[in-house]
Structure 1
């Protein structure tokens, strides 16, 4: 009659071992999420702002809003 020996379960250090595995997974997930956000949201947004302000004329925009009557304290140009 042959008996198969069941291995003893690991009792000491089990929590530490599981936490190490989960921490590595959490760090990899976090880094992946940050990189995904950077390349899909942040960089295109930064480029869009740079493109917009490349040809933006503040004085021209102010004059257009002033002539349109947007500001209450400054009336339209009468010259």
Structure 2
């Protein structure tokens, strides 16, 4: 039993490290990259003033009056 932890760590530690790198890379390319691309695509077409005017006309803001008043 002497040295069992050290012997097992020599085997399991590199495997755990390699698996964590693989999982991190997989997460990056399957989750974060598509998410960043979706945000970029959304903001290419996004018009903040148009959205603001639509919310203003709907009466969402209490401090801003619609243009017709």
Normalized against structure 1, the TM-score is what?
Answer: 0.77
1:40 aligns with 2:1: no
Say if 2:13 is the partner of 1:16: no
Q: Unaligned 5+ residue runs, structure 1?
A: 1-10
Q: Which has the higher contact order (CA 8 A, sep 6+)?
A: 2
How many residues are aligned here?
Answer: 69
| Structure richer in helix, relative to its length | 2
Query: TM-score scaled to structure 2, two decimals?
Result: 0.87
Q: Structure 1 residue runs of 4+, over 4 Å off?
A: none
